[in-house]
Amino acid sequence: MGRLGFSGWFGGPRPRAAPADPVDKLRVPVRAAGAVLWRRAEGPSASGIEVALVHRPKYDDWSLPKGKIEPGEHAAVAAVREVLEETGFDVVLGRELGVQSYAVKDRLKLVRYWAAEARGGRFAVNREVDRIAWLPPDEVATLMTHGRDAKVPAELTAAPYATVPVIVLRHCGAVARGGEWDGDADRPLTAAGRVQAERLAGILAAFGRAAVLSSPSLRCLETVDPYCRATGTAVEVVPALSEDGHADRASAAGDLIRHLVADGGPVVVCSHRPVLPALLGAAGRAAQPGRSRGELLLPGEFVVLHSAGGVVAAADRHAPYPIEG
């Protein structure tokens, strides 16, 4: 406990606290998430897409929809929530468009952006936004108030924006091998693993409703169950995604992922650590995003393979718990 003079103990003036170190504030940045909201251009003669900008009367500026990440909230979930709150549109996230950093007063702000396709809803004036404008991508920068924002929508059209997610998921934390279980396939999730699975349901939903393929092992089925219940999706059991199935036919997992990427439908694939190299390698993503080469996903982590025209255009990694970056 720090030393206090008698005046501090008896209600007199207390010593003044040292002013906050601006460097310390920069070490704890404000984290936010947003999106480049896009839709197919409307009208019989229209072609291409339109991008939305929002006008915030508090700042009298035109910018992309974004907002602070709530404590414990995943950035992807925050991006979907903020777009809905500010624009009224339900969205499905596509590929990540990078992280923008800038100073706000004496704090560093980091905003993580996604491509986001409007799938329904309509704009209504709200407490943060009073106007919305839809513009062709090459005209967005002319309306933006802050020049720094212009590079984010430019990233949208620098690569395919209409992508489909093929999600490769490692099951959540399971009980240790051995013990009371009849076999390895019967091991359930731990209490912490069940919490991870519940969190995953909301994070996976940010990428839309998808088919679900799973190893028959209990820990995989329990991992995808909250998402399946939330979306009303039935799980399809695929023996080739199990450890035993992979050992029997090592090429099956790679064949499956190549078929799924070429098929062009959204899907979640839940499997095991030994199977991941075959799944990701077949998609050309053996070196996982944000990881050193050869390091595998941790329990509950997943990679979104954003496919377009039967090819993986981008990939990003996510975890069911807060991570830096």
In this prediction, residue 103 carries a pLDDT of 86
Classify the phi-psi angles of 256: left when phi > 0, otherwise alpha if psi is within -120 to 50, otherwise beta: alpha
Q: How far is CA 241 from CA 23, 50, 247, in A?
A: 48, 40, 10
What is the three-state SS of 40-94? ECCCCCCCCEEEEEEEECCCCEEECCEEECCCCCCHHHHHHHHHHHHHCEEEEEE
Q: How confident is the model at residue 64 (pLDDT cuts 50, 70, 90)?
A: very high
One-letter amino acid for residue 55 of the chain: H
Q: How confident is the model at residue 104 (pLDDT cuts 50, 70, 90)?
A: confident
In this prediction, residue 306 carries a pLDDT of 97
User: Is the pLDDT at 130 greater than 90, yes or no?
Assistant: yes
Higher pLDDT, 184 or 316: 316
- Give the gyration radius of the chain's Cα atoms: 23
In this prediction, residue 1 carries a pLDDT of 37
Tens digit of each residue's pLDDT (9 = 90 or more) over 194-211? 999 999 999 999 999 999
Tokens representing 316? 């990003």
User: Is the pLDDT at 2 greater than 70, yes or no?
Assistant: no
The residues that bridge with 261 in the sheet, in sequence order, are none
Tens digit of each residue's pLDDT (9 = 90 or more) over 302-313? 999 999 999 999
Q: How confident is the model at residue 143 (pLDDT cuts 50, 70, 90)?
A: very high
Cα 53 → chain centroid: 21
| Mean pLDDT of all residues in 40-61 | 85
Residue 249: count of CB within 10 angstroms of its CB = 11
Q: 139-155 burial string, b = 16+ CB within 10 Å, else e? A: ebeeebeeeebeebbeb
User: Is the pLDDT at 325 greater than 50, yes or no?
Assistant: no
In this prediction, residue 294 carries a pLDDT of 59
Task: Look at 5-9, 256-260, 290-294 and tell me which has the smallest mean pLDDT.
Answer: 5-9
Query: What is the rounded CA–CA span in Å between residue 38 and residue 48?
Result: 10
Mean pLDDT of the chain: 88
Q: 251-283 burial string, b = 16+ CB within 10 Å, else e? A: ebbbebbeebbeeeebbbbbbbeebbbbbbebb
In this prediction, residue 162 carries a pLDDT of 95
pTM of the model: 0.87
| Mean pLDDT of all residues in 93-121 | 93
User: Is the pLDDT at 3 greater than 50, yes or no?
Assistant: no
| Mean pLDDT of all residues in 59-81 | 96
Tokens representing 131? 């106007």
Residue at token pair 């009849």:
182
The DSSP code for 35 is E
| Mean pLDDT of all residues in 100-128 | 93
Taking the alpha carbons of 117, 121, 124, 128 in that order, is the dihedral positive or negative?
negative
Domains, in order of start, for the chain: 22-157 (3.90.79.10), 164-318 (3.40.50.1240)
Q: How confident is the model at residue 99 (pLDDT cuts 50, 70, 90)?
A: very high
In this prediction, residue 274 carries a pLDDT of 94
| pLDDT above 70: percentage of residues in the chain | 85
CB distance 38 to 52 below 8 Å: yes
Task: Look at 36-50, 126-140, 241-255 and tell me which has the smallest mean pLDDT.
Answer: 36-50
Provide DSSP, 139-166.
Answer: GHHHH-S-GGGGHHHHHHHTS--S-EEE
| Mean pLDDT of all residues in 66-94 | 97
